[in-house]
Amino acid sequence: MAVLEATGVSKVYHGRRGTVHALDGVDLSIPKGQLFAFLGRNGAGKTTFIKVAATLLLPTSGEVRLFGEDVVAHPEAVRPYIALVPQEGRPFFHMTPREHIYEYLRVRGASGESAKARTEEILEAMGLRPFEQEPAYRLSGGVQQRTLVAMILATEAPFLFLDEPTLGMDPFGRRQVWEVIRRATRKGSTVLLTTHYLDEAEQLAEELAVIEGGKILYRGAPEALKSTVKREVRLQFSGGFTRSELGEYGEVIEDRKRLVLLTTRSRVREITERALERGSEITVGPVTLEEAFLELVGRGIEEEE
């Protein structure tokens, strides 16, 4: 059963750059308990979609239903069932992580007892214990972000909107957040998150959608997205080759000092032999979600032009 059902959602902004179609006929359904990731370049429309679905923004046209209720016509029917981590949010400067979580739960109507228990639990799970008594202005950026995410996840709301929840977090912090998000879905919450870390999407999401220019380009499992890339092997070189030399084997991506080649299985032997002759260091592996994303969106942009 789909708990989020979007049909033909569009949002048009009229600004100095002319008319911007931030969303352009988005259809999307997310089943109950799913961990769903939104991927897309900056300005693709991810935040706009989240804002519309989370009753923060009116769409120009189209419909979003959450738990069967129309978010435009009956926002107040939807709001008790949702919680949101806004993109680049910041906590109240004078409050500690513990106070943020506890007070937010109380404001949302939780009893003192339940708020207390949930606060303790999430402080532990999110690794916020060492900071629980510090006012937010003394916390580092990543810990402030963890505080906000903890505050929202502690609500255990049936639908969680997380707009770049792990922004600015270290790899340990990110893993803690992933674990808490997974636990939320095990308890029955549905999660819609956005991220620019493709490894995160790969680790976390059961399904994802790639959005570009306000349109959905792809919707499916992360594994399936990887298999859309025609070249299935990824070779990374440090020196020894020029870009044009590698070009004849497949698609070349320049990644700072390194060259990355996406190619087919059949050509791997030939290239590795040449690399060994030249003493170039080379790493061979499967195509990552990042490459699949780059290729998919790159194709999308070309078609547009």
Partner 1 sequence: MSFRSQAYAALRICYFNGIMPLWRSPLLIGAVFLTPFSFLFFLYVIAPRALFPFGVVGGVLFTALFTGNGMLNDCAYLRLERQLQQVYVASPVRSLTYILGMALSELAFALPAMVLFLGILLVVHPFGALAFAALVGVVLLTWLMACTLGFFVSTLFQQLREIWPLGTLIFSTLSVLPPIFYPATVIPKQWQWVAYLAPSTYAGQLADGVVGLGGGITTSVAFLNTPLFDLVGLGAITLLLAAAATYFARWRER
Ligand X SMILES: Nc1ncnc2c1ncn2[C@@H]1O[C@H](COP(=O)(O)OP(=O)(O)OP(=O)(O)O)[C@@H](O)[C@H]1O
Handedness of CA 22, 28, 29, 33 (dihedral sign): negative
Handedness of CA 149, 151, 154, 160 (dihedral sign): negative
The encoded tokens of residue 110 equal: 């939780």
Identify the three-state secondary structure at position 253. Answer: strand
Residue placing its CB nearer to partner 1 in the complex, 1 or 107: 107
User: Per CB under 8 A, which of residues 135..164 are in contact with partner 1?
Assistant: 135, 148, 151-152, 155, 161
Residue of 3, 4, 22, 28 interacting with ligand X (CB under 6 A):
22
Residue of 37, 62, 99, 210 interacting with partner 1 (CB under 8 A):
99
47 touches partner 1 (CB under 8 A): no
**Mask 221-260, x = binds ligand X (CB under 6 A)?**
----------------------------------------
Whether 64 and 6 have beta carbons less than 8 Å apart is answered as yes
Q: Please, which residues have CB within 8 angstroms of residue 240's CB and are 6 or more apart in sequence?
A: 275, 278, 279, 280, 281
User: Per CB under 6 A, which of residues 39..68 are in contact with ligand X?
Assistant: 40, 42-48
Residue of 8, 25, 33, 75 interacting with partner 1 (CB under 8 A):
75
Q: Which strand ranges, in their side-by-side order, compose the sheet holding 251-255?
A: 251-255, 258-263, 233-238, 281-286
Determine whether 108 is exposed, middle or buried from the number of CB atoms within 10 Å of its CB (0-12, 13-18, 19+): middle
- For 5, phi then psi, to 5°, come to -135, 110
**Mask 173-212, x = binds Mg ion (CB under 5 A)?**
----------------------------------------
Residue of 87, 236, 272, 280 interacting with Mg ion (CB under 5 A):
87
Residue placing its CB nearer to Mg ion in the complex, 48 or 96: 48
301 touches ligand X (CB under 6 A): no
Q: Find the distance separating the first CA and the last CA of the chain, reported in whole Å.
A: 38
Q: Which residues bind partner 1 (CB under 8 A)?
A: 51, 54-58, 75-76, 79-80, 82-92, 94-95, 99, 103-104, 106-109, 135, 148, 151-152, 155, 161
Residues lying near ligand X in the complex (CB under 6 A) are found at 13, 15, 20, 22, 40, 42-48, 87
